[in-house]
Structure 1
């Protein structure tokens, strides 16, 4: 059968699982067989860099650049992403148009010697590449030794087995999509360990004005997830969020209403500011922008200048 849609994705097992989920939803929505959708794995710069933090290498765009080039070149029709990896500003001519129903947004704790972060012995090593997770770990347990932990899920688990660290923290959604959530020894509470904006949500990027593709994507777009992500991404954009900025944000939508909680924290975990906002889900982006402006005013310019 002729290919109807080429689906671009990063080549990791988790990214491929997300592309398979997008394909399955498209197959069901349009009553088309699997072979109508070609999955095109693409290795990104972010996948190749394993020896230093992304904040030093160029930030979130490292996971999207090659996929976006493939969209421009029409080698693919859509790109499937982890929403939390997406920069807040997209290249001209591209649109983050579609969001699949969100998975659990919480982080999971995976311990080799302890079942939770509270149970770790003093001075234990915890591996993470996320500045947000590093800062939140230090806020909860300033005595712990936080070490850099780059790589995909399988690489990080191998590092645990090799004794590089005694524990790590990974998104619960990713483990669930890989059928590996049983390895989580604890799930971090949203109140004490808020997620990254976009965590748990799969997003689809496509070319602006490509009407045939837009029509295919429309039936699989989850409106409530799209509204929640509009709020979270606007909050991030208002704070100039990047991989160098420890920022958390999580919005929920119910019965047309939106509730949002956001946090900014210094990398050492010693100073943080929180914000809450509510409103009509139809005004999601405006709520996020205002929350970002409010928390920036609350923290003061010195908060950002002193660290970033």
Structure 2
């Protein structure tokens, strides 16, 4: 069998395919190099792209249409959700996920000239640079990493922010660079292999390079897990409040006046959209307002409905929103906070301390969902908690945590609440 592999035609992508297949030396393969819309469009900034198919669309279409048997992608470029009919059959261990600042030989962060031009491809990287040197000026840069390095070498930029993984794979580790502090893009440095759903032969073939946990994982939140070994066991449900209540009406009467809408959950955004028409408004009435969200899933939902999202908090918490808005001028602002009955008070308290005019609007409630039949939790290797409410619901339904089973929390707030709950049970 000659395995046909779809991938981007860039130099880095070709190295990535060779890296994957070096783990399967007995397999003969034929690459299918494809230019994606992200390779052709070198003008659109990457910052607003989020988890879209900008760098994967044409490759995944070829895979679905039978043009190739598998596709190899940078895992960080994968859209969420994956296209219907495709499945990730392997995720590699990858290489160093750090971001680095590459500079000309002999230059340091301290000796870069004032106002130096830094090539960057995301607002997150821009913020890291500005924290280190507020006077540096970040400019959007596009093209493959090898092309970006060429732009640096010919003096178009004084520095370049890129992934250390790309330098390793391109053999550019002799470059003068420093590792940047802070978090990195999720899955940076790792490679994902996609195949068509039901292609058991490819799942088996690439199982040796797949570093994902093979044990059974129990997911307690609202979303259905994508992993093949994940079991969905929701212990919470959300219920919209009656829209024609005094407090909701009071909040919506002022809709034309709000300058900012801040959504801290996907559910809150969905219920808000449903509620708008009850008060005679439409999505057009949101135009011109700053729409700020927590999480790419919330951003996707709103944009699918036709709402333009201005900014997404890097850290998916209220604290992440506060950090992002800490230098914002709110002198003339009027903020609406659509939220859950269980919403934490931190963001509202921060707005109050800043003397910002705001309205809270509780649109939905979160309740424990008691299953008809309890599961034998010892059959699972890991239990995933997606919110503090899933932790509370688990305690209410199951009372105690099973020994020998790993507990995983999504996000720092859930982790803190889970650790506190587990410590109380010890």
Task: Identify whether the pair has TM-score above 0.5, normalized to the shorter chain.
Answer: yes
Higher deviation after alignment, 235-244 or 141-150: 235-244
Distance 2:139 2:54 in 1: 21
Where 2:134 maps in the other structure, the secondary structure is: coil
Of 3, 18, 22 in structure 2, the residue corresponding to residue 20 of structure 1 is 18
Deviations 1:19-40 (A, max 9, x none): 111111122xxx34xxx21111
User: Runs of 5+ in structure 2 lacking a partner?
Assistant: 218-226, 228-293, 301-308, 329-345, 347-379, 387-406, 416-426
1:181 equivalent in structure 2: 173
Distance 2:173 2:310 in 1: 26
Report how far residue 114 of structure 1 moved.
5.8
Deviations 1:16-67 (A, max 9, x none): 100111111122xxx34xxx21111111000111123135679631101001
Deviations 1:159-203 (A, max 9, x none): 112322100011111111111111142222xxx232111111111
* 1:197 is aligned to 2:172: no
2:7 equivalent in structure 1: 9
1:282 equivalent in structure 2: 382
2:43 equivalent in structure 1: 51
* 1:167 is aligned to 2:159: yes
1:100-115 equivalence runs, <5 A: 100-112=92-104, 115=107
Contact 1:102 1:202 in 2 (8 A): yes
1:88-99 equivalence runs, <5 A: 88-99=80-91
Distance 1:243 1:80 in 2: 32
Of 116, 120, 128 in structure 2, the residue corresponding to residue 128 of structure 1 is 120
Distance 1:115 1:283 in 2: 48
Report how far residue 290 of structure 1 moved.
3.4
Contact 1:71 1:77 in 2 (8 A): yes
Distance 1:185 1:225 in 2: 37
CA distance 1:89–1:101, shift in 2 (3 Å): same
Of 31, 43, 53 in structure 2, the residue corresponding to residue 61 of structure 1 is 53
Of structures 1 and 2, the larger Rg is shown by 2
* 1:37 is aligned to 2:37: no
Distance 1:115 1:269 in 2: 32
Which gives a bigger RCO, structure 1 or 2 (Cα 8 Å, sep 6+)? 1
CA distance 1:266–1:74, shift in 2 (3 Å): farther
Report how far residue 240 of structure 1 moved.
4.3
**Alignment root-mean-square deviation, CA:** 3.7
Instruction: Name the count of aligned residue pairs.
Output: 260
Higher deviation after alignment, 213-222 or 109-118: 109-118
Where 1:62 maps in the other structure, the secondary structure is: coil
User: Runs of 5+ in structure 1 lacking a partner?
Assistant: 250-261, 274-279, 296-308
CA distance 1:294–1:117, shift in 2 (3 Å): farther
1:291 equivalent in structure 2: 411
Where 2:43 maps in the other structure, the secondary structure is: coil
CA distance 1:208–1:176, shift in 2 (3 Å): same
Give the alignment's TM-score, normalised by structure 1.
0.72
The structure with more helix, counted as a fraction of residues: 1
Distance 1:225 1:196 in 2: 24
Report how far residue 116 of structure 1 moved.
3.7
Contact 1:135 1:265 in 2 (8 A): no
Give the alignment's TM-score, normalised by structure 2.
0.53
Of 58, 62, 69 in structure 2, the residue corresponding to residue 70 of structure 1 is 62
* 1:207 is aligned to 2:205: no
